[in-house]
């Protein structure tokens, strides 16, 4: 009897852990529709949101696409289009993020006046920001992140996402400037002074970073002063 009781308790505990885990895995969707209605298009949207929250992204996108195709005058069309982008964004991976970027940009194109348009642009910036490599790697995503953050600040200057974009932009530009500095330093060590000079002048390093120390190279003023001193000596 004792063994049976122990087994029963263990079984209950296992079920509780499993159910608790299911709750933990659910990630609340950021842009639900709070309107309480049983309209068929709203029902479809709510089902898709539930699937997004439980990481059933492909099913969610199928439901949302069905909503868009079936109810072409629905008041939820914009929200459905945004949710498709969000599903791709949450799915992640190179393919998922590329699809998310395309969907977000479509959303901004069709609904530029909606409050969520600024959020969509912030997500596009974030897609490249999170894929940004260190200064000694390929600057592709850093350059794209810089472009998209600038676009957010330009197109949505009064949005709540603008200050965060400005902070990200400073971080991005520091990485880009350090990348140019590393390459210039390499040219300088090889004696290719014109090439080094071109690299140092490619970005306004001094004006941008005189007050911002870097984690990998000490401070910009020290590094640039050292280069300038060496350059004068070499002449």
- Quick: pLDDT tens for 75-117: 999 999 999 999 999 999 999 999 999 999 999 999 999 999 9
Domain boundaries of the chain, sorted by first residue = 32-103, 115-221
Tell me the two tokens of residue 129.
Answer: 């920001």
Q: What are the angstrom distances between the C-alpha of 41 and each of 58, 66, 76, 172?
A: 18, 9, 7, 41
Question: Between 22 and 199, where is the model more confident?
Answer: 199
Strand 218-219 and strand 213-214: pairing? antiparallel
pTM listed for this prediction: 0.71
Q: In degrees rounded to 5, what are phi and psi of residue 225?
A: -60, -40
CA 174 – CA 33 distance, rounded (Å): 39
- Is the model's pLDDT at 69 over the cut of 90? yes
Please identify, in words, the CATH class of the domain defined by 115-221. Answer: mainly alpha
pLDDT band at residue 28 under the 50/70/90 scheme: confident
- Is the model's pLDDT at 233 over the cut of 50? no
CA 28 – CA 217 distance, rounded (Å): 41
Say what the pLDDT of residue 184 is: 74
What does pLDDT average to over the chain?
Answer: 78
The dihedral built from the CA positions of residue 51, 53, 55 and 58, taken in this order, carries a sign that is: positive
The 10s digit of each residue's pLDDT in 171-217 is 888 888 887 777 777 777 777 777 777 766 665 544 454 345 444 44
Say what the pLDDT of residue 174 is: 85
Question: Between 40 and 228, where is the model more confident?
Answer: 40
Tally of CB atoms within 10 A around 23? 7
- Is the model's pLDDT at 163 over the cut of 70? yes
Name the strand (E) or helix (H) holding 192: none
């Amino acid at each position: 009897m004792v063994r049976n009781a122990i087994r029963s308790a263990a079984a209950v505990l296992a079920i509780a852990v499993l159910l608790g885990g299911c709750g933990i895995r659910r990630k609340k969707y950021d842009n639900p529709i709070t309107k309480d209605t049983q309209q068929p298009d709203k029902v479809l949207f709510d089902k898709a949101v539930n699937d997004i929250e439980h990481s059933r992204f492909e099913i969610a996108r199928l439901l949302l696409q069905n909503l868009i195709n079936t109810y072409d005058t629905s008041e939820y069309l914009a929200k459905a289009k945004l949710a498709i982008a969000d599903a791709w964004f949450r799915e992640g991976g190179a393919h998922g993020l590329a699809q998310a970027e395309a969907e977000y940009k479509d959303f901004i194109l069709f609904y530029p006046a909606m409050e969520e348009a600024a959020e969509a642009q912030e997500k596009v910036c974030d897609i490249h920001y999170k894929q940004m490599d260190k200064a000694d790697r390929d600057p592709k995503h850093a350059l794209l992140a810089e472009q998209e953050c600038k676009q957010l600040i330009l197109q949505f200057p009064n949005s709540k996402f603008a200050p965060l974009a400005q902070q990200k932009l400073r971080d991005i530009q520091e990485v880009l400037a350090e990348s140019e500095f590393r390459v210039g330093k390499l040219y300088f060590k090889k004696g290719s002074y014109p090439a080094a000079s071109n690299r140092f002048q490619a970005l306004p390093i001094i004006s941008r970073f005189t007050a911002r120390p870097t984690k990998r190279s000490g401070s910009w003023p020290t590094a640039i002063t050292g280069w300038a001193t060496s350059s004068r000596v070499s002449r």
